[in-house]
Amino acid sequence: MCGIVGYTGHREAYPIIITGLKRLEYRGYDSTGVALLNNGLKVYKKKGRVADLEENIIGKDLHAHIGIGHTRWATHGEPSDRNAHPHQSASGKLAMIHNGIIENYAQIKKELENKGYHFTSDTDSEVLLNFIEDIQQNNECDLEEAVRVALKRVTGAYCILLIAEEDPNTIIAARKGSPLVIGVGKGEHFLGSDASPMLEYTKEVVYVNDYELAIVRPDELILKNLGNEKITPFITKLDMELAAIEKGGYEHFMLKEIFEQPSTIQDCLRGRLNAAAGTITMAGVENNIEQLKNANRIMIVACGTSWHAGLIAEYVIEELCRIPVEVEYASEFRYRNPIVNKGDVIIAISQSGETADTLVALERAKANGAFIFGVVNAVGSSIARLSHAGAYTHSGPEIGVASTKAFTGQLAVLNMMALKIAKAKGTITDEYYQQLLNELQDVPEKVASILKNTDELQRIAAKYKDAHDFLFLGRGYNFPIALEGALKLKEISYIHAEGYPAAEMKHGPIALVDENLPVVFVATKDSYHEKIVSNMQEIKARKGKVISIITEGDLVSPTISDDVFSIPPADELIAPLLSVIPLQLLSYYVGTLKGIDVDKPRNLAKSVTVE
Ligand code: G6P
């Protein structure tokens, strides 16, 4: 993870870097630092958030037209001033920021220590920097060549930006496994982990690929591979406005993103779903329909909230398309030598498109001949580019660390995809197909109606905010929603929460139930409804507190529940798109009532680019 920003050009670099770092804080916020070049290097860094650094450097000389900045999510070395980036080389003449992990740093560190090097931090990054400087001095080569030689030696992941006193206009950048975007302006260039730091200056960007090195000057962008051969930069036009990454009057990004869902789901359906005509248009699916409908097996690979979307997709695809589906944690899949046969399809789900475990899992599967279909939010991201085909969720930038609108976007895409495959395969009746199309079309309006009624959820949150544990239970399509509800609460309120299949609860978690345990039932009307009502009775009989998310018109559940929240009716396949909304809000309200910064909860990062 970590966020990186760089600038070289005619403007003042510092304000651009600081604003960019604030936008990238979702990637980590353990420490912040900047290095500026103006008559020598000036490095300022501080444990904590960007605002802490800003406060700390009031009155310092910040004038420069070139600089780099970093916001850290700690891997090697605790969060502290001395482990903050940028690091300076032993000579003091180079400054570098790094996002990623250098896996063989210990061995290189030993070699350098034997040569007399001393290190001022515990980081792998400082080792790489001194390694580069050492190569430059020994080989008497230029910095670019030294970077190339060093990067051929290191294993692991990196995106590095490097500035040097000897060449005060140039930023040298390179990536493998961690994202890097370069914005192209007139007489200036911007660098970032994503495009947000450069949005107000340019819409022309270059997504740097793995094993590429960029030499960036105000008027020049040279891209090379590690073999020193030039590559023509491919310029992409950004389709994103500044307003999309601002809070727009909401107290938190998370709340804004929850309330954006009627429009983000609409954006996802727009141009694809036409219920009146009975059609779904998805080029990525249409162009590969033979491969998809004839798949022997579909494997879904994802992490976190995206993995929960994958679990729901498993139920939906098996039900509608009659294709066996397996859902894998990317981190497990990549290391366990999975069997991937020709004819298998892999669906990768990722908001950021940069999650390291998902990315590497896909690279391995692709190398083994698997067909990769990406369901990704971040346009132009690494997973989007690696996929053979895909469908964007069009949820817009998601900045709150806890994923909300990206999740409903993923569900909308996966539902449409399953419907399209089922139609092509002939495994769905015309009536049910049309019903689901109609229901999908109604989702934005139903989500909007849920969002009009948040007082009750605030009351429930206030009532239970001091609980030490929560249990979330659901069955069928709502079981992954129970997992997601528990994850959301954990992430932003620090309350221990477990999600479980409602019936499986009897095989363990029921031992936790007493009068202090709130149990959230995701119990909308579906084919299992009577069963889950029995599970509510089982909790009630043991004095647990029952909070139920139910379908409007359900008269039975309220008689057993301590608290209820009703949502509009929907087919059970579509219901997760609705039932997740009150759980997102519940965790938001509990988190904010506890005074937690829900956009930046402790220890988490939005885009996990380390394994
Ligand atoms: C992190 C985020 C989660 C996200 C997960 C997977 O843990 O905090 O919100 O679900 O990564 O990220 P991806 O970008 O691949 O969906």
SS3 523: strand
Q: How far apart are CA 594 and CA 602, in angstroms?
A: 13
How far does the centroid of ligand 1 lie from the alpha carbon of residue 103, in Å? 23
DSSP 8-state class, residue 117: -
pLDDT at residue 243 is higher than 80: no
- Claim to verify: residue 271 and residue 368 sit in the same structural domain: yes
Nearest CA to ligand 1 atom 4: 304
Q: Catalytic annotation on 606?
A: yes
pLDDT at residue 1 is higher than 80: no
Which residue in 22, 423, 488, 606 is the catalytic one?
606
451, 484, 508 - which closes a domain: 451
- Claim to verify: residue 254 and residue 161 sit in the same structural domain: no
Q: Which atom of ligand 1 is nearest to the CA of 352?
A: 14
**What are the structure tokens assigned to 557, written together?**
């559940």
Nearest CA to ligand 1 atom 15: 350
List the CATH number of the domain containing 202: 3.60.20.10
Residue 188 — pLDDT band, cuts 50, 70, 90? very high
How far does the centroid of ligand 1 lie from the alpha carbon of residue 349, in Å? 10
Number of domains in the chain: 3
pLDDT at residue 51 is higher than 80: yes
pLDDT in tens, 88-116: 999 999 999 999 889 999 999 999 999 99
397, 416, 451 - which closes a domain: 451
User: Probe ligand 1: pick from 307, 484, 607, max atoms within 8 Å of CB?
Assistant: 607
List the CATH number of the domain containing 476: 3.40.50.10490
Average pLDDT value for the chain: 94
Nearest CA to ligand 1 atom 1: 606
pLDDT at residue 439 is higher than 80: yes
Q: Regarding beta strands 344-350 and 297-302, do their DSSP bridges make them parallel or antiparallel, or are they unpaired?
A: parallel
* pTM score over 0.75: yes
Q: How far apart are CA 250 and CA 417, in angstroms?
A: 33
Residue 241 — pLDDT band, cuts 50, 70, 90? confident
How far does the centroid of ligand 1 lie from the alpha carbon of residue 272, in Å? 26
- Claim to verify: residue 583 and residue 537 sit in the same structural domain: yes
- Count of other CB atoms within 10 angstroms of residue 503: 16
- Claim to verify: residue 150 and residue 28 sit in the same structural domain: yes
Q: Catalytic annotation on 2?
A: yes
pLDDT in tens, 251-294: 999 999 999 999 999 999 999 999 999 999 999 999 999 999 99
Q: How many CA atoms lie within 13 A of 82 on its CB side?
A: 6
- Claim to verify: residue 418 and residue 277 sit in the same structural domain: yes
Residue 335 — pLDDT band, cuts 50, 70, 90? confident
What pLDDT, on the 0 to 100 scale, is given for residue 369?
86
pLDDT at residue 240 is higher than 80: no
Please answer whether residues 18 and 50 qualify as being in contact, where contact means their C-beta atoms are separated by less than 8 angstroms: yes
- Claim to verify: residue 374 and residue 337 sit in the same structural domain: yes
What pLDDT, on the 0 to 100 scale, is given for residue 352?
92
Give the residue among 148, 119, 117, 120 at the shortest CA–CA distance from 135. Answer: 148
What is the full DSSP assignment across 588-601? Answer: HHHHHHTT--TTS-
Sign of CA dihedral 302, 307, 309, 314: positive
Q: How far apart are CA 61 and CA 64, in angstroms?
A: 9
What pLDDT, on the 0 to 100 scale, is given for residue 607?
73
pLDDT at residue 27 is higher than 90: no
What pLDDT, on the 0 to 100 scale, is given for residue 437?
98
Q: How far apart are CA 563 and CA 560, in angstroms?
A: 9
Residue 453 — pLDDT band, cuts 50, 70, 90? confident
Ligand 1 interacting residues, C-beta cut-off 6 A: 303-306, 350-352, 355, 358, 401-403, 604, 606-608
Give residue 345's identity as a one-letter amino acid code.
Answer: V
- Claim to verify: residue 76 and residue 218 sit in the same structural domain: yes
Q: How far apart are CA 492 and CA 592, in angstroms?
A: 8
pLDDT in tens, 161-186: 999 999 999 999 999 988 899 999 99
How far does the centroid of ligand 1 lie from the alpha carbon of residue 398, in Å? 11
- Claim to verify: residue 92 and residue 107 sit in the same structural domain: yes
Mean pLDDT value of segment 59-67: 96
Please enumerate in sequence order all residues whose Cβ is within 8 A of that of 550, keeping only pairs 6 or more positions apart, or say none: 523, 524, 525, 557, 558, 561, 564, 565, 566, 567
Q: How far apart are CA 120 and CA 127, in angstroms?
A: 10
Give residue 493's identity as a one-letter amino acid code.
Answer: S
pLDDT at residue 29 is higher than 90: no
Sign of CA dihedral 559, 562, 564, 570: negative
Percentages helix, strand, coil for the chain (3-state, rounded to 5) are: 40, 25, 35
Tokens 């909790």 belong to: 539
**What are the structure tokens assigned to 273, written together?**
């779903």
451, 477, 510 - which closes a domain: 451
Domain carrying residue 236? 2-244
Q: Which atom of ligand 1 is nearest to the CA of 302?
A: 15
Which residue in 2, 159, 303, 321 is the catalytic one?
2
Nearest CA to ligand 1 atom 8: 606
User: Probe ligand 1: pick from 27, 349, 355, 379, max atoms within 8 Å of CB?
Assistant: 355
How far does the centroid of ligand 1 lie from the alpha carbon of residue 29, in Å? 16
Q: How far apart are CA 188 and CA 16, in angstroms?
A: 12
Please answer whether residues 96 and 53 qualify as being in contact, where contact means their C-beta atoms are separated by less than 8 angstroms: no
- Claim to verify: residue 383 and residue 332 sit in the same structural domain: yes
How far does the centroid of ligand 1 lie from the alpha carbon of residue 606, in Å? 6
Mean pLDDT value of segment 188-214: 95
pLDDT in tens, 296-329: 999 999 999 999 999 999 999 999 999 999 999 9
User: Probe ligand 1: pick from 253, 254, 329, 351, max atoms within 8 Å of CB?
Assistant: 351
User: Probe ligand 1: pick from 606, 609, 610, 611, max atoms within 8 Å of CB?
Assistant: 606
Q: Which atom of ligand 1 is nearest to the CA of 303?
A: 6
How far does the centroid of ligand 1 lie from the alpha carbon of residue 403, in Å? 7
What pLDDT, on the 0 to 100 scale, is given for residue 604?
81
- Claim to verify: residue 442 and residue 518 sit in the same structural domain: no
How far does the centroid of ligand 1 lie from the alpha carbon of residue 143, in Å? 36
Give the residue among 136, 204, 132 at the shortest CA–CA distance from 174. Answer: 132
- Claim to verify: residue 10 and residue 125 sit in the same structural domain: yes
Q: How far is CA 347 from CA 166, 313, 525, in A?
A: 48, 10, 29
pLDDT in tens, 363-412: 988 888 889 999 999 988 899 999 999 999 999 989 999 999 999 999 99
- Claim to verify: residue 260 and residue 119 sit in the same structural domain: no
Please enumerate in sequence order all residues whose Cβ is within 8 A of that of 453, keeping only pairs 6 or more positions apart, or say none: none
